[in-house]
Amino acid sequence: MVYVGLYSPTSVQRVVDFVKTVYAFSQKAQIAPVIVKPIGAAAQIGIPEAFKVSVKLNKPFMVFPELGDALELLRPSEAYFYSDEGAELDAPQIRQVQNGNLLIVFPSGESEPSKKELTGLKLVRLKDVPSQLPALALLSIFMYKVFYQVT
């Protein structure tokens, strides 16, 4: 199973769009969206809206208060946090991990995790992807390269 996360969103629409984007790519692999540390309106309105989307599509959806909780409960064989400062990976390297559970968390752009919160996650970025893209653009490129593009 591949768990794709969004870290600390504050926007209702960003949460809903994130979940819909993950589900759009879930035809090629077992993929579940994960929201970590939602804040404000995202927590109060966005999570229930995203849950409605997941129920309508009969797809899994998870919410965790902290990155550590996601690591503890999902038990991924590999756990990544997408960062411009991360190690450069290409899609085939990520595809190889799919034999076990994979967790990849994208920053929402609204709040960054502390170094302590990142314990247990490797900082990574995709090779040949422009830096500083918004979370949903990064997510879309990541999902396409890993699950659709044959290299």
Taking alpha carbons only, the member of 48, 52, 60 closest to residue 5 is 60
Q: What is the pLDDT of residues 99-150, one digit of tens each?
A: 678 999 999 977 889 999 999 999 999 888 887 888 899 999 988 888 887 6
- For residue 91, pLDDT over 60 is answered with yes
Phi, psi of 105 (to 5 degrees): -115, 130
Count Cβ neighbours within 10 Å for each residue of 95-113 and write b for 16 or more, e otherwise.
bebbeebbbbbbbbbbeeb
Measured between alpha carbons, how far is 93 from 98 in angstroms, rounded to an integer? Answer: 10
Domains and CATH numbers, the chain: 2-147 (3.40.1280.10)
Taking alpha carbons only, the member of 44, 40, 49 closest to residue 13 is 49
Q: What is the pLDDT of residues 67-78, one digit of tens each?
A: 999 999 999 999
The predicted pLDDT at position 97 comes to: 65
* Helix, strand, or coil (residue 56): helix
Percent of the chain with pLDDT over 90: 67
